[in-house]
Structure 1
Amino acid sequence: MHHKTKLTTVAVLTAAVMSASAWAQKGVIEPSQGWFVGAQLKHAEFDGDRKDANGNEIRRGTLAGLELGIDISDRFAWRLTAANADLNSDGAGEDESGMWYGADLLYHINDKRNYFILGADYIDLDNEATKAAHLGFGIRYNMTPSWVLTGEAMVHQGFDEGYSDFTAGIGIRYYFGGHKSEPKPAPIVQLAPVVIVDTDSDGVVDSLDECPATPVDYAVDSSGCTLYREETVSKRLMVNFANDSAKVPFESKEDIQELAEFMEKYPQLNVVIEGHTSSVGADDYNQQLSERRADAVSEILVSDYGIDGARVSAKGYGESNPLLKGNSEKIHAANRRIMAVLSVNEKVGIRK
């Protein structure tokens, strides 16, 4: 009968714990954390092997006590308990009393709504002191971030005498550390709208444009600078003279001016004015005449158009390098001349 009564009591208390667990899961506010203290009230059921001073079996009793603990992580906590034991026996003798001490390791699950209990007991009653290990299950209900209700059920197994006891009860607990703080969400940074500016409209934004004033109609590279190709630029001058004359014709002054402007644009260039004659007359005379013709054009470049004299030289070739060969008046007129040819390689912008 005693064994049957004990099994019935265990079943009722276990059902109560499971029901309370479901209730607690609905009531969670926030998990608490830190140091905690609490008070507990439990009912104890014994297997009948424990005797009072008169040899009567101790069957059940009440435990009222305190707990002190600390969470050592999000999952684990240490706890010490001390309870006053008021136990009832089957005989007519006095009730048994004493102290029930425990040391527990708690393992929390499902965000601290439930936890497992593993620990050891030291039970100091009037007529004897025993040691035991226990295993149990607990539930909790967070009323506030600091105040928590608990329900626990444990099986206790004696080390020496082989006692098998069962306890179940409720408690209230206060956490000094309050609830576990949740990280604050990072502030939302409002980014200023990106304004794309391309002042010279070359397709490269100003922040990347290393050549900020390129012409709109020229192609540019990724840095916004004009793309170029190499071209050879040439300038040719030919002035024809009257027979036996070194006087520069007036109508040739414009061609000489254009040559001067070309030299101003390309200051790295020097020019050689080449003088020539027809085959009419003596060779020595024609040599001197070709030199006077070259000198005349050189003088105009320097004196009339400001070209540095160091950049201009004159050379006479007489009748040795005719433009045309023959003995007609038209061929002689073509050979009475000065000539100059200038060329330079320059970068020319590539148009779009």
Structure 2
Amino acid sequence: MNKRILNGSILNCTFALTALISSANSFAEEVNTSIIEFSPNVGYYQFDGGREIDDAPFIGMGLGLFFSRSFAAILNYSRFDTELADGSSAGDIDIQKYHIDALYFFNTEQKWRPYASLGYGQIDFKDSIQQEANETNLSVGLGLSFQMTPKWSIRGDARNFHSFDESVNDQTFMLTLGYRVGEGER
């Protein structure tokens, strides 16, 4: 009797293990490194007129995950220097900005793809006398992407960043070069 139960248990475990391995292989074929994107970017940050801070160019880097041809999430970091609008040397400001963006692409079977972005993040200011300010912001934007190859794309967009802390609206214009690892887009 115990031998029959033991044989049945081994058979059940073998079936369960086979099912688990085959479903894991199926999942591994769908999810691979091709969903990862590295995306250096450059842009121009335009501050709200009420801030009295000079507009400035910036550079940044993004790390993204493409969950499908239509949807991606990208973590962005950028830094740049500017100064107070009055031009005083005491007004030099170091800025760091980081935000996570959800991108939704339209027309995904074509090379030219319009997209919408929604983001949440923070901008940190540090002036020349070491005073600091941090602001939480929400961004919305529209852009256009060109899929050059399965691995390479270029995106340009305009975004509005609303600061919850200061109730101001800043704008950015950004150009991004995207590189997808692995096989790239499928």
Taking structure 1 as the reference length, what is the TM-score of the superposition? 0.39
Amino acid at match of 2:179: Y
What secondary structure does 1:78 align onto? strand
Identity of aligned residues (%): 29
Give 1 or 2: higher strand fraction: 2
**Larger RCO: 1 or 2 (CA < 8 Å, sep 6+):** 2
C-alpha distance in structure 2 between counterparts of 1:85 and 1:172, whole Å: 19
In our comparison, the structure showing a higher alpha carbon Rg is 1
Q: Which residue is 2:116 aligned to? A: 116
Instruction: List aligned pairs for 1:6-155, cutoff 5 A.
Output: 34-50=35-51, 57-94=52-89, 95-111=92-108, 113-126=113-126, 127-155=132-160
Matched with 2:31 is none
SS in 2 for 1:49: helix
Specify whether residues 37 and 121 from structure 1 end up closer, same or farther in structure 2 by C-alpha distance, changes over 3 A only. Answer: same
Separation in 2 of the partners of 1:109 and 1:178?
22
Q: Of the candidates 147, 170, 174, which is equivalent to residue 165 of structure 1?
A: 170
Give the TM-score of the pair, scaled to structure 2: 0.71
> How many angstroms does 1:121 deviate by?
2.1
Provide structure 1 residue ranges, at least 5 long, that are not aligned to the other structure. 1-32, 51-56, 182-352
Give yes or no for contact 2:65–2:74 (8 Å, CA) kept in 1.
yes
Contact 1:58 1:90 in 2 (8 A): yes
1:167 to partner: Cα distance: 0.3
2:49 is paired with a residue of what secondary structure?
A: coil
Cα deviation for residue 101 of structure 1 reads: 0.4
Per-residue deviation, 1:87? 2.2
User: Contact (CA 8 Å) 1:60, 1:89: kept in 2 or not?
Assistant: no
Q: Which runs of 5+ in 2 are unaligned?
A: 1-33, 127-131
Contact 1:47 1:59 in 2 (8 A): no
SS of 1:166's partner is: strand
Aligned length: 143
The one-letter code matched in structure 1 to 2:69 is D
SS across alignment from 2:50:
coil
Aligned to 2:9: none
Contact 2:151–2:185 under 8 Å retained in 1: no
Q: Distance in 1 between matches of 2:105 and 2:182?
A: 17
Task: Measure the CA separation in 2 of the matches of 1:85 and 1:100.
Answer: 9
**1:178 is aligned with what amino acid?**
E
1:148-227 superposed matches below 5 A:
148-181=153-186
